[in-house]
Structure 1
Amino acid sequence: MSTTADFVRANTRLAPVPFLPELVLHQADEPIELWERTEAGGAQQPPPFWAFAWAGGQALARHVLDQPDLVAGRDVLDLATGSGLVAVAAAKAGARSVVANDIDPLSLAAAEANAAANDVRVALIEGDLLTDGYAEAGVILAGDVFYSREMASLVLPFLRAAAFRGALVLVGDPGRAYLPTEGLVLRETYEVPVIESLESVPMRRTSVWQVLTH
């Protein structure tokens, strides 16, 4: 993972997360420039979701850090981890084990670098878990996963199946268009600072929801 790790470090700098000052994260200084450069690489290269602290992930990480009993002593999966921010927060909060999952190798390189920067250990799984599920985790965390109709149609059955088998399933979302309207219980709402060039506003009202089985 050395090449991907080098790319992550070359295109970010380590800085505190505004809403989570106890954590640091490799973040892009010029988000639009990095996004455009990544897009120029062609369709095979996913957008650089790993280079930013998205609102849903910040809210979910804050919720876990403020209520560590949610994850303490439990096995946690951070689905579509992006930067690994939520995974790092879960590890900081005392999870027995944390797995960060994403389809993008750069995301996993960022998650590994961010875990190291925060002095925690996070395991990595590359690939799509949505088809087969992931029964090993007692807690499933997912930040900002309802950003498209296609992603929502894939991730929601995965999350509900996990809840059905008894996992605690929490999502963080700033009111994206494809957030489900049923089968969720509101746990907390936050005002989260975001990158205005990406979100068009400086703050996003962002909620943490628990996913039910139906």
Structure 2
Amino acid sequence: MTFVKANEPATGNQIAAFLNLTRATIRADLAVLTMTGILDARPKVGYFYSGLEENPGGYEELRKMAVHMIMTKPTLVKKETSVYDAIVTLFLEDVGSLYVAEEARLIGLVSRKDLLKSAITGSDTRSVPIATIMTRMPNILTLQKNDSVVDAANMLVTHEIDSLPVTKSDNQIIGKISKSHIVTLFVDTMKKT
């Protein structure tokens, strides 16, 4: 808010550059700030600070929430799953990432971007297993069920990713949190205040 107050009207690109993030990364955040009335947006002009309190009462509720309170069931696949079948699963389940598991333990992750790259390189998507394109543990950021929702949101924004798996200490996958979950929670909380 400080940047917008000092530089209004501030464009989305200016705000993104100040935060050292991409415009796409902060798009949902700007939408939430506009929906809640903290920022005012004027097409082809930019964002203005509306004068509303930056820390309405609902924020305290958000700060106290743990990941397990909003996580959903992850979409799991096996490492032998073909890229083609993974693409079909991604669209049928309407998710942005698939979690690769063995005996319910997270071993990898395949994002929409990974699948797109594989498909456009001309590889035989029906025979290539996703194990060849997945990001493997321990190179995957994870959450624990009692981590704060605010920390989860920060990780999503900082690392410019769409979702995070929620695991137990032995990498058993028990849920996931996405940017969509965070935005929905934020909007629902702000409607109550």
Shorter-normalised TM range? under 0.3
Higher strand share: 1
* TM superposition score normalised by structure 2: 0.28
TM-score by length of 1: 0.26
Q: Which has the higher helix share?
A: 2
Structure of higher CA gyration radius: 2
Q: Which has the higher contact order (CA 8 A, sep 6+)?
A: 2
